[in-house]
Amino acid sequence: MERESTFIGQSFAFMDSVERASRAAALNRPVLVIGERGTGKELIAERLHRLSQRWSGPLITMNCAALPETLIEAELFGHEAGAFTGATKVRQGRFEEADGGTLFLDELATLSMGAQERLLRATEYGEVTRIGSSRPIRVDVRIVAATNEHLPGLVEKGRFRADLLDRLSFEVVTLPPLRAREGDVPVLSDHFGRRMAAELGWPYWPGFSPAAAAQLAEHDWPGNVRELRNVVERAVYRWDDPESPIDAIHFDPFESPWRPKSAPVAVVPSEPTQITAGPMSNDPVPAPVVEIECDDFRAACLGHEKLLLEAALRRCRFNQRATAVALKLTYDQLRHALRRHDLLDRAG
């Protein structure tokens, strides 16, 4: 593998996951790679490709979270000229580009349900259909997918297709976080430190002082190996004496007495009795805005949308057409929203 793609580690937990990936590489079956951010999911995907019979074929990577939902299907499956606004010419999708090789889908859990359905057909039957075309195209692609989510839990919540999970989970390689890799922090720190010292032109590698090494070993590393690499390389380049061991570690690069204060997120309280939703509402004026923390924007928006729907349904005595008028939605739009939140049975 390339220098940047080298596996570094000696712990049993880490070596066990690498061995599992190596054994699965030779089989022409899909593999799921699960792990926290910065644990090396991309490296495992590359290993699965390089050790397979497809090593001479293309390795195509797609980050499912990097594209808006409206473009994901076009990116995966391609499109014909004129299929939608802006589609001026025929474009191959990632499946066609990966024909004869491996397609690595990162952040798999962010795929929409529509894209999941088409992905299931592509993996099940080995054929894709470009958007705007009715002619399926045969492809020979091995799927390797990665996520930091617990997919069975998403299936229970209705956010991921159970049949797609069954199809992709022939083998699941779960990467341990760095805090669980006993003895690997000193090995990784030394590796990244030596490489940075060589890049800076130091005559030799002085290592870390006992105090600095202890700080590195005791840190929890929420960002795992990616965070460790940044911390070590930052410590090396900020150290002014290349002939003495590095004795200063800066875990937070944003730490400064002059850093700006974060603006709080302000939302309306979530009590249903304080929600107004449309011209038919006779509810009291909402309570004053309060400041709360929000660490999941999508979940917060979905939760607020469900509260609005429930409140409007109660005011309209669960009459769907009256509720649609109150919320300034079409009847079909309201039905789609109710189905998304499992409210259809309450709005009979």
- 320 pLDDT above the threshold of 50: yes
Determine the length of the chain: 348
pLDDT for position 321: 83
CA distances 278 to 58, 87, 326, Å, are: 53, 38, 5
The pairing of strands 171-174 and 142-147 is unpaired
Model pLDDT for residues 1-36, shown as the tens digit of each residue: 344 567 899 999 999 999 999 999 999 999 999 999
Under 8 Å between Cβ of 38 and 225: yes
- 279 pLDDT above the threshold of 60: no
Under 8 Å between Cβ of 33 and 44: yes
DSSP 143-162: EEEEESS-HHHHHHTTSS-H
pLDDT for position 319: 84
Say whether 171 sits in a helix, a strand or coil. strand
Say whether 128 sits in a helix, a strand or coil. strand
Under 8 Å between Cβ of 321 and 331: yes
> Is the C-alpha dihedral spanning 275, 280, 284, 285 positive or negative?
positive
Under 8 Å between Cβ of 31 and 170: yes
> 230 or 306, which is more confident?
230
Supply 194's token pair: 């030596």
Q: What is the mean pLDDT of the chain?
A: 87
Angle at 254 between CA 252 and CA 258, to 5 degrees: 135
Strand partners, 146: 33
Strand partners, 142: 102
> 66 or 289, which is more confident?
66
Question: What pLDDT band is residue 274 in, cutting at 50, 70 and 90?
Answer: very low
Which one-letter DSSP state was computed for residue 215? H
Which of the residue ranges 89-103, 152-166, 259-273 would you say has the lowest mean pLDDT?
Answer: 259-273
- 237 pLDDT above the threshold of 80: yes
Supply 116's token pair: 């999941």
* Residue with the two structure tokens 């992709």: 168
Supply 188's token pair: 């990784």
pLDDT for position 276: 46
- 275 pLDDT above the threshold of 50: no
Model pLDDT for residues 33-66, shown as the tens digit of each residue: 999 999 999 999 999 999 999 999 999 999 998 8
- 103 pLDDT above the threshold of 90: yes
Spell 258-283 as b/e; 16+ CB within 10 A means b.
Answer: eeeeeeeeeeeeeeeeebbbbeeeee
Half-sphere exposure of 159 (CA within 13 A, CB side): 14
pLDDT for position 281: 46
pLDDT for position 16: 96
pTM of the model as a whole: 0.71
Model pLDDT for residues 173-208, shown as the tens digit of each residue: 999 999 999 999 999 999 999 999 999 999 999 999
